[in-house]
Structure 1
Amino acid sequence: MTTPKGEATKARILEAAADLLVTENDVSLDDVMRVTRTSKGQLFHYFPGGREQLRRAAAERHLARLALADAPTMQGTWQDWEAWVELILCRHEQQARDDACEVAAMAGRALDVDKVTRELAGRMYEQWSSELRDQLQAMQSNGLLRSDAPIDELASAVLAALQGGAVLDKATGSHRHLAHALHQALVLMRTYAA
């Protein structure tokens, strides 16, 4: 049985590893020990599988943080969608080019050579897509979207705009790609307004 202090240590290790996965695109046990001021014995106590177990747990944590940070919350109106886009853009504009971006780092997880990590990213994308579809279907049920609106395609367009725009912004140092992509996704959605 793990004590509350032990749980806190494990959580600290996991958060540090997730941060490194985003900023460094990998997890080094030495870096985790340095950042968390823990010993190798502590790391292996909580993650007996070593670097690979910690790396996979860090990928799961990264994706969970991403789901909480940038996943869309219920948008029941057009104003809600616009407010969500502005919130995303505000977060990205506050980041310097060299700052880690959880959304942009997600692309690396989707291309990871580790099959488990790649599948985790795939599940996260599918979860986002499902949440977006649910919100669009609710808007359709409430009469804000026409009955012929291609819900799956619209959800994919919003998700691709968010992910692709975030990656392009980080690569170029410009905030325009994400802004243009998300605004055009909203324009596309509005073509199906009831």
Structure 2
Amino acid sequence: MPTRKGEATKARIVEAAADLLISGNDVNLDDVIGLTGTSKGQIFHYFPHGKDELRRAAAERHLSRVAEADAPAEPLTSWPAWERWIDRIVELHSQQTIHDACEIAALAGRALDNDTFTRNLVARMYERWIDNLCEQLSAMQSAGLVRSDAPVPALASAFVAALQGGAIMDRATGSHQHLTNALHQALALLHAYEGSFDT
């Protein structure tokens, strides 16, 4: 049975490998050893299949960090809640410099990965984001805040695409405007389906 110290060591190894991935680097065992102060023997103890197994664990951790960073702090069941969620994402993103690793922008690179396992992980991440936003929008429909004819899956997809695409463009240009513009335009599209009353 793994000890608490062993679990902490394994977690440290995975975090370092995830940092390498979002920085645009592949998982190199020597780099992980240097970052964590562990040995190759320790890495193979926790990841007996070596680099590929660690790389997949790092990809899973990367996706969980994205989910943690961009999860709404409150249910998105009112217009002010959507505004606050967008403001929070933009604020977190604006705190990053051009030299910082960007979790969201790095996700696109993983979607193009040659490893089918990693691509499938990213696909499930996108699907989870869209499903979550669909639930929030359906709740707004039930409350009469969004019209019943609103294309909920398409609207949810538009928000995820705005988040991903805006983050990549900001990262490439060193701007903080593309993500802001994309998310606010997605919200404007949602407002086009606003219900007949607000609460």
Fold-level match, TM-score > 0.5?
Answer: yes
Take 2:24 and 2:30, find their aligned partners in 1: how far apart are those partners? 13
SS of aligned partner of 1:140: helix
What letter matches 2:188 in structure 1?
V
SS of aligned partner of 2:128: helix
Residue 125 of structure 1: how far off its partner (Å): 0.3
Match of 1:135 in 2: 136
Match of 1:162 in 2: 163
CA contact (8 A) 1:70 1:103 kept: no
Query: RMSD between aligned alpha carbons?
Result: 0.8
Match of 1:151 in 2: 152
Match of 1:38 in 2: 38
Q: Is structure 2 residue 58 aligned with structure 1 residue 58?
A: yes
Take 1:26 and 1:68, find their aligned partners in 2: how far apart are those partners? 23
Take 2:155 and 2:56, find their aligned partners in 1: how far apart are those partners? 31
Question: What is the total number of aligned residue pairs between the two structures?
Answer: 194
Match of 1:79 in 2: 80
CA contact (8 A) 1:25 1:108 kept: no
Take 2:180 and 2:25, find their aligned partners in 1: how far apart are those partners? 25
Match of 2:175 in 1: 174
5+ residue gaps in structure 1?
none
Take 2:177 and 2:127, find their aligned partners in 1: how far apart are those partners? 26
Take 1:175 and 1:25, find their aligned partners in 2: how far apart are those partners? 24
CA contact (8 A) 1:16 1:32 kept: yes
Take 1:118 and 1:71, find their aligned partners in 2: how far apart are those partners? 21
What letter matches 2:57 in structure 1?
A
Residue 25 of structure 1: how far off its partner (Å): 3.2
Q: Percent identity between the aligned chains?
A: 63
Match of 1:95 in 2: 96
5+ residue gaps in structure 2?
none
Comparing 171-180 with 71-80, greater Cα deviation is found at 71-80
Residue 155 of structure 1: how far off its partner (Å): 0.3
Take 1:109 and 1:123, find their aligned partners in 2: how far apart are those partners? 12
What letter matches 2:175 in structure 1?
S
Q: What CA deviation, in whole Å up to 9, does each residue of 1:124-164 have, x standing for no partner?
A: 00000000100000110111000101101100110000000
Take 2:138 and 2:153, find their aligned partners in 1: how far apart are those partners? 9
Residue 71 of structure 1: how far off its partner (Å): 3.0
What letter matches 2:147 in structure 1?
R
Residue 70 of structure 1: how far off its partner (Å): 1.0
What letter matches 1:7 in structure 2?
E
